[in-house]
């Protein structure tokens, strides 16, 4: 905004067009305070800095009044744009499914989206209660919908909410759809002028989804004790129901984190990857003498696994460890008479071990850009896909997205089989390392307050790339224009640098690969030393 008067005019126009009295009052009060309070003035300017950007991940932002936030007005105009986009692609009057999680504002946002679509002439179906995102993705495919909308901010901080869009494939949208929708949103009328109408049909697809989860290759063993947490999200009831349907009865949930709570009171950041987020889970796993620990993120599309080390301590597996563990298991269960040429996939920032496993199993392997919108489009015959950020798709036949509930259920089946054999997931990971080499991964994540810093650092790496990293010579590969990504590779070393698509971060993904020629412990130690050196070099590179 160029001046106080411009700022006040913009705020007044937004207030006049906001159909929600609560956010109108919120912005009016802020506008009044901004007249003599510099902090309020800065807050107001931020809320009016521009519309919340719509991309392939949809919308995500803080729940607050104004165009640069998640609120009924923004959701209304966004959905008007989606409706226009669907009309333009020949889907007038077709079926759209709307779901939601339990975050602040989710019910009101889902209602607004459903009513805008109903008024626009679509056949709209909504869920009766907050449910995991994978159930929405399942419903799009099972009902033959042309689109699905899930109101969720996944594992973002408590103040946030979001809007995730699926297309007729049952997967998340990809370019150029995001740009087309963004232009349609820009052309939409003020929110107060967008027609809304009740009348969406309430449907419950959860029983059908659970039936499908129970058909996964779970083996015959069911004697396994699992500790799990939903991190105050919507996954607990669905996980419990999935386990019961599949025959796993020894499930222990972290009581303090079982009921949905949009304030996430026991965690500072509701993401299983964050330090401290799984402390209560691992304590419970130890207390109940569990065989496996499972953490879902708040909308239950991600799944993290925890295991007991040989010294008795519990730890969470890294996303790549979980990915190769379940990927190798899925490949071992594929019926080659019906699917002779299966495909597994991961992303360019994940461990390359899955490719080695696929080669050994005579399966195809693909690497895609980051994001499940690309992974589920990796090719025909896809049986498994994962990304290192705890995203797992063990069931592409009925959910074309990451699915924490299905992954957790499959992991319980694998753990039960291993327990019956006197083995553990760590034994499997050791065997994979012996066979395919030690693959160690790590991440350097730089959070920024000014998004321009990310572009400056990416330009620096491109213009003056390092000659050596982690003690070896590396060469740079630039993935532009397909993606804002650079890859630095050398003998047994790989670094991938990219801006995050959902957070104000620049991320570098590190991998070291070392063959096992003698003792596995020695190979791991040498790989860890190189990874430590590599991390130090990358941290210096990104300063």
Residues in the chain: 543
Q: How many CA atoms lie within 13 A of 517 on its CB side?
A: 5
536 three-class SS: helix
Q: Which among 322, 319, 369, 368 is positioned nearest to 344, based on CA atoms?
A: 368
Cis amide bond preceding 375, omega within 30? no
Q: From residue 105, how far is each of 64, 475, 543 by CA, in Å?
A: 10, 47, 38
Task: For tokens 């889902």, name the residue.
Answer: 110
Q: Please say whether the beta carbons of 115 and 195 come within 8 A.
A: no
**Alpha carbon distance 389, 297 (integer Å):** 11
User: DSSP for 418-476?
Assistant: HHHTT--HHHHHHHHHHHH-EEEEEEEEEE-SSTHHHHHHHHHHHHS--SEETTEEEEE
Strand runs (DSSP E) across 72-146, as ranges?
95-100, 123-126
Q: Please say whether the beta carbons of 150 and 402 come within 8 A.
A: no
Q: Which among 172, 175, 419, 387 is positioned nearest to 291, based on CA atoms?
A: 419
Burial class (CB in 10 A: 0-12, 13-18, 19+), 467: exposed
**Alpha carbon distance 224, 294 (integer Å):** 13
Q: Please say whether the beta carbons of 125 and 95 come within 8 A.
A: yes
Handedness of CA 4, 10, 11, 16 (dihedral sign): positive
**Alpha carbon distance 384, 328 (integer Å):** 9
Q: Is 5 a catalytic residue?
A: no
Q: What angle do CA 380, 147, 100 make, to 5 degrees?
A: 110
Q: Which residues pair with 252 in a beta bridge?
A: 227
Strand pairing category for 493-499 and 486-490: antiparallel
Task: State the catalytic residue, choosing from 3, 5, 106, 154.
Answer: 154
**Alpha carbon distance 511, 489 (integer Å):** 10
Q: Which residues are catalytic?
A: 154
């Amino acid at each position: 905004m160029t001046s106080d008067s411009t700022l006040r005019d913009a705020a007044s126009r937004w207030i006049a067009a906001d159909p929600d009295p609560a956010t109108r009052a919120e912005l009016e009060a802020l506008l009044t305070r901004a007249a003599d309070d510099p902090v309020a003035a800065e807050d107001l300017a931020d809320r009016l800095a521009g519309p919340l950007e719509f991309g392939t991940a949809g919308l995500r932002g803080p729940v607050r009044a104004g165009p640069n936030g998640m609120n009924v007005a923004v959701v209304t105009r966004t959905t008007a744009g989606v409706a226009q986009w669907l009309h333009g692609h020949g889907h007038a009057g077709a079926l759209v499914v709307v779901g939601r999680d339990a975050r602040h504002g989710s019910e009101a946002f889902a209602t607004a989206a459903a009513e805008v679509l109903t008024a626009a002439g679509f056949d709209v179906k909504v869920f009766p209660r907050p449910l995991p995102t994978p159930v929405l993705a399942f419903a799009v495919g099972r009902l033959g919908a042309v689109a699905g909308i899930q109101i969720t901010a996944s594992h973002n901080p408590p103040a946030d909410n979001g809007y995730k869009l699926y297309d007729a494939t049952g997967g998340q949208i990809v370019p150029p759809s995001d740009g087309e929708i963004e232009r349609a949103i820009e052309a939409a009328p003020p929110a107060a002028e967008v027609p809304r109408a009740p009348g969406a049909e309430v449907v419950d697809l959860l029983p059908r989804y659970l039936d499908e989860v129970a058909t996964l290759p779970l083996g015959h063993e069911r004697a396994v004790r699992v500790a799990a947490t939903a991190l105050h999200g919507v996954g607990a009831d669905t996980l419990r129901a999935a386990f019961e349907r599949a025959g796993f009865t020894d499930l222990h949930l972290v009581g303090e984190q079982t009921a949905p709570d949009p304030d996430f009171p026991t965690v500072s950041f509701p993401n299983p990857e964050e330090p401290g987020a799984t402390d209560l889970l691992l304590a419970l796993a130890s207390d109940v003498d569990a065989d496996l620990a499972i953490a879902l993120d708040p909308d239950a599309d991600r799944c993290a696994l925890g295991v007991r080390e040989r010294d008795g301590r519990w730890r969470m597996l890294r996303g790549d460890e979980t990915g190769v563990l379940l990927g190798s298991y899925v490949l071992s269960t594929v019926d080659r008479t019906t699917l002779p040429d299966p495909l597994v996939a991961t992303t360019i920032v994940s461990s390359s071990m899955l490719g080695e496993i696929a080669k050994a199993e005579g399966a195809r392997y693909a690497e895609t850009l980051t994001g499940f919108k690309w992974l589920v489009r990796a090719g025909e015959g896809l049986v498994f896909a994962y990304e290192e950020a705890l995203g797992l798709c063990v069931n592409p036949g009925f959910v074309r997205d990451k699915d924490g509930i299905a992954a957790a259920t499959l992991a319980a089946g694998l753990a039960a089989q291993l327990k019956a054999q006197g083995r553990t997931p760590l034994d499997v990971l050791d065997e994979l390392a012996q066979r395919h080499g030690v693959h160690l991964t790590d991440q350097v994540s730089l959070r920024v307050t000014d998004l321009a810093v990310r572009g400056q650092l990416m330009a620096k790496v491109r213009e003056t790339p390092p000659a050596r990293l982690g003690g070896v010579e590396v060469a740079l590969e630039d993935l532009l224009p397909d993606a804002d990504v650079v890859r630095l590779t050398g003998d047994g070393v790989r670094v991938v640098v990219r801006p995050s698509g959902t957070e104000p971060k620049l991320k570098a993904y590190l991998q070291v690969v070392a063959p096992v020629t003698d003792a596995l412990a020695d190979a791991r130690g040498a790989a860890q030393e190189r990874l430590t050196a590599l991390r130090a070099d990358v941290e210096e590179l990104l300063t």
